[in-house]
Amino acid sequence: MVGGRHNYWMATVQNAATVEVLAAQPGSVETDLLIRPVFEGEPLPADDSLVVATAGEVSRASTSGEFKGKLYDLFFTPIIDPRWKARRIVLAGLGRRSDYSVDRVRRVATAAGLAARQRRHARVGMIWTDPHDLEHTSQAIVEGLILADFDAAQYKTDEDRPPRLRGLHIVLAPDAIYDARKTASAAAERGRITGESCNAARALANEPGNTLTPRVFAERAAALGSDARLAVEVLDEHQIAELGMGLLLGVSRGSAEPPRLIVLRHSPPGVPATPVLGLVGKGITFDSGGISIKPADGMERMKDDMAGGAAVICAMCAISLLNAPIRVVGVVPTTENMPGGRAIKPGDILRGASGKTVEVVNTDAEGRLILGDGLWYAQRLGATHLVDVATLTGACVVALGKITSGLFGRPSEWVDVVRRAAEHAGDRIWPMPLFEEYRDQLRSDIADFTNTGGRPAGAITAALFLKEFAGSIPWAHLDIAGTAWAEEPQPYLPRGASGVAVRTLIELAWTSNTWPR
């Protein structure tokens, strides 16, 4: 059985649930609700214990067509048998068996967990008797249930809110051998930490701009990192100036809030000096667009422009808590982008810490500016492989919509590594081109390049801008502008911050044997 985490971590993820893996008859599990996944078109066997315990109600629902097992279908019914410790069961549709994936199990677990909370069930168990790929499935089940426990309404004063999940179980077959239980328990612990890390990132991205200023963001990152046993350093505006980070300082000029540079290090003893994974996240705590101000409609959403930075911070915490056998450094430049009297203006020239100069033609293309200094600093700290994460461009939303994040980078071997990590983790990403001809759109007559190439291929030219600061080492860029915030609720994802990219970065830390050198 697994308990809670440290104090500040707990306050952020809002989750004190225990997780337990049992090899037992379902009737002996002391819980409020049992989840029984069912494939479409495959009714429960007549001798299944749940059929008897519900007086045939689950069979009737299947036979009548009330429950068909379609993806995310849910059918709740009481358990009649007084010998059972659980009082209700929910059949959860997995869709067609031919379409099965571990990610579907994760999403179905989340959908069932969300429905359980709405019905005020605090203790939930999910039955899983298939021994195939038990490690990944157990992790996915726990991740899904933990994700269902996220509460975005921390500022609501109405006390009539769904209860939090307090006890989670994976119920294996009664005859599951010791090694299977041990494997599933270890995977469940990893799933719990991963799920909590996603929820921590969602909590940060959900904070309004007046409570999560750059200084507060840095303070919370430091507290989270300290709880997770990371080495943490926060650089103030004077230290940032000493490093020559003119791009970060330039963006921050219009705000009364000073910038910060958050640095997190995971350096476990005994691991080789290289490779070193460098994670860089965009930390714009509110983006007004600056002098090139955004339209008022939807501007309130710009509080989540630090979702990439939150993903890096919370992934770093999980990487440390899981003791990944690799050195990792996280860098998050954070500031507001505001139209104050000292704000940068279109036509201004900024010089980054790398020495490269940028003509600012649009102050609303600010994320790439601060990432330029962040990418430079990650290399200075020893990174041999880079990934940056940012809510960077509306153009990526036009290209890929709200479901898929854009993936850019070089060499192709490194891009493939990141893509496979995302696929395994359940984040949907898609590779995009970086043909050199697009760079012509960034040409400047008075500086090394401009900070935007205009509307055509906007996501690509933004990535090419970042490429200028990535040096010669393997580098990948995740544009999460369309996926960091769910505007339309899904069965497995309520409206709000999604925690995208956290699982991908965690998974990536365990794949160093496949990295290009």
Q: Residues with catalytic annotation? A: 294, 368
**Residue spans of beta strands (DSSP E) within 288-428:** 327-337, 349-351, 357-359, 385-390, 405-410
Cα–Cα distances (Å) from 78 to 53, 91, 119, in that order, read 9, 11, 13
Whole-angstrom Cα distance, residue 424 to residue 360?
A: 38
Task: Find out whether the peptide bond into 474 is cis, omega within 30 degrees of 0.
Answer: no
Q: Which two tokens stand for residue 12?
A: 């952020």
Cβ neighbours, 10 Å, residue 30 = 12
Report the C-alpha dihedral over residues 96, 98, 103, 107, rounded to 10 degrees. 0
**Of 43, 35, 40, residue with least CA distance to 59:** 43
Residue 281 and residue 205 in contact, taking contact as beta carbons nearer than 8 Å: no
| CA separation for the pair 9, 137 (Å, rounded) | 25
CA distance 186 to 181: 9
CB atoms within 10 A of CB 440: 10
**Is the CB of residue 78 less than 8 Å from the CB of residue 91?**
no
- Which residue, 191, 199, 13, 206, is CA-closest to 109? 191
Amino acid, res. 414 = W
- On whether the CB atoms of residues 369 and 260 are closer than 8 A, the answer is no
Q: Residue 115's closest CA among 104, 126, 130, 101? A: 126
Kindly write down the DSSP assignment for every residue of 82-119, as one continuous string.
Answer: TT-S--EEEEEE---GGG--HHHHHHHHHHHHHHHHHT
CA 18 – CA 263 distance, rounded (Å): 31
Our CA dihedral for 70, 72, 73, 78, rounded to 10 degrees, sits at: 140
